[in-house]
């Protein structure tokens, strides 16, 4: 039984790769609509909702509900609470998905401000007074790496609890 398996593997490894090319076909044309080289996201001029879909929705989902199974907290109806505790404003910029995104500083400021609208993702979680993020603030804050996301987030959640804020982020109470 082993011999046929060994022979089959040897044949498969020795056979040339059908249709494989090590060098791209120089005569291949671009697919229709892709004639121009793709621009970086920071230069593409996408709308803020499109930037959310490209940069955030993969983890937080299109409506911001997150995914406990993927260890991703929900933003919808909760994200504004971070603005109510010391360090929370900076945290939102420094979360790796934000600070390391392909967006430039102005686009990231626009995205944060879009997320934090009372009629949008943040909803009723927003504090009464809100100072919108600026490009300059984002540029300054995003330079500082967030070295331990779970611990920093847990500390912010504890501050929220101390203020009596209900923690409804879709995660375990321990997180």
Render pLDDT for 120-138 as a digit per residue (tens, 0 to 9): 899 999 999 999 999 999 9
Neighbours of 138 (CB within 10 A): 24
pLDDT band (50, 70, 90) for residue 15: low
Q: Which residue has the higher pLDDT, 33 or 141?
A: 141
Q: Mean pLDDT for the chain?
A: 86
Q: Region of 131 please: left (phi>0), alpha (psi -120 to 50) or beta.
A: beta
96, two tokens:
């790796």
Q: What is the pTM of this model?
A: 0.75
CA 39, CA 27: separation in Å to the nearest integer? 23
Provide the pLDDT for residue 175. 40
pLDDT tens for each residue of 43-65: 888 899 998 998 888 889 889 89
What percentage of the chain exceeds 90 in pLDDT?
54
**For residue 173, is pLDDT > 60?**
no
Domain 45-162 has CATH 1.10.760.10: yes
Cα dihedral: 42, 48, 146, 149 (round 10): -140
Provide the pLDDT for residue 43. 84
Domain ranges of the chain: 45-162
CA 72, CA 148: separation in Å to the nearest integer? 15
């Amino acid at each position: 039984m082993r011999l046929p398996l060994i022979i089959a593997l040897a044949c498969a490894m020795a056979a040339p790769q059908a249709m494989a090319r090590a060098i791209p076909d120089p005569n291949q044309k671009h697919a229709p609509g892709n004639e121009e080289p793709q621009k970086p996201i920071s230069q593409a001029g996408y709308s803020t909702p499109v930037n959310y879909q490209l940069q955030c929705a993969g983890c937080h989902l299109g409506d911001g509900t997150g995914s406990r199974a993927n260890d991703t907290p929900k933003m919808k109806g909760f994200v504004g609470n971070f603005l109510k505790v010391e360090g929370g404003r900076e945290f939102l910029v420094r979360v790796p998905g934000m600070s390391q995104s392909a967006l430039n500083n102005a686009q990231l400021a626009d995205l944060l401000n879009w997320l934090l609208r009372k009629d949008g993702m943040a909803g009723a979680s927003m504090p009464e007074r809100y100072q919108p993020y600026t490009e300059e603030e984002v540029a300054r804050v995003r330079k500082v790496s967030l070295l331990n996301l779970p611990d920093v987030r847990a500390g912010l959640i504890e501050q929220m609890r101390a203020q009596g804020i209900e923690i409804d982020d879709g995660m375990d109470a321990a997180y």
